[in-house]
């Protein structure tokens, strides 16, 4: 079965965002942070762009990765954050749901606080301090 991984683009603060996510999930980057300066034939790239994140990956559960990059205006890239996405986390316990919700929502805006739901979940939503929308859904009836 295919896995679904979320790939996020930021306008220059990918490293800050992923260091924050790393601190919440308590795991390390896979392969470190790759920068645009690591690319071959980068001599026409500004020193500032060379320091930007080309790719970073963070394991956030079995077979699941949160990945990201900086969008570079010098390469014709632009970015518009929208409301058409969420990263949905299915923790293995209520305690883990609380830890992840509280950690990731720190400095952000809680849309729906964590609470028991009619479908048997312990569920909440928020937008983190980087503008990324998250859902946390612990299915109590399945455990």
12-52 pLDDT per residue, tens: 999 999 999 999 999 999 999 999 999 888 888 999 999 99
Asked if the structure places residue 82 within a domain, the reply is no
Can you give the pLDDT at residue 141?
66
Number of domains within the chain: 2
Can you give the pLDDT at residue 63?
84
Tokens of 121: 């979940």
- Residue pair 33/92 in contact by the 8 Å Cβ criterion: no
Asked if the structure places residue 78 within a domain, the reply is no
Cβ atoms within 10 Å of 135's Cβ, excluding its own: 17
Residue ranges of alpha helices (H) inside the chain are 14-25, 47-51, 94-105
Q: Is the pLDDT of residue 71 over 60?
A: yes
Do 69 and 94 sit in the same domain of this protein?
Answer: no
Q: What distance lies between CA 9 and its chain's CA centroid?
A: 10
Q: Is the pLDDT of residue 60 over 60?
A: yes
| pLDDT bracket for residue 3 (50, 70, 90) | low
62 or 102, higher pLDDT: 102
Asked if the structure places residue 108 within a domain, the reply is yes
Asked if the structure places residue 41 within a domain, the reply is yes
Range(s) of the domain holding residue 133:
87-142
Torsion sign (Cα): 38, 58, 108, 102: negative
Torsion sign (Cα): 67, 73, 77, 78: positive
Q: Which of 25-39, 68-82, 111-125 has the lowest mean pLDDT?
A: 68-82
Do 12 and 58 sit in the same domain of this protein?
Answer: yes
């Amino acid at each position: 079965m295919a896995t679904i991984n979320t790939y996020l683009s930021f306008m220059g603060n990918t490293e800050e965002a992923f260091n924050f996510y790393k601190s919440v999930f308590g795991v390390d980057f896979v392969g470190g942070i790759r920068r645009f300066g690591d690319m071959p034939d980068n001599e026409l790239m500004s020193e500032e762009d060379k320091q930007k994140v080309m790719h970073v990956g963070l394991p956030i559960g079995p077979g699941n990765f949160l990945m990201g990059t900086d969008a570079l205006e010098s390469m014709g890239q632009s970015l518009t954050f929208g409301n058409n996405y969420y990263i949905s986390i299915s923790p293995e316990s209520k305690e883990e749901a609380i830890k992840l919700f509280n950690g990731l929502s720190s400095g952000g805006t809680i849309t729906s606080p964590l609470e028991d739901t009619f479908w048997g979940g312990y569920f909440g939503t928020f937008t983190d301090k980087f503008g990324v929308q998250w859902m946390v859904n612990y299915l109590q009836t399945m455990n």
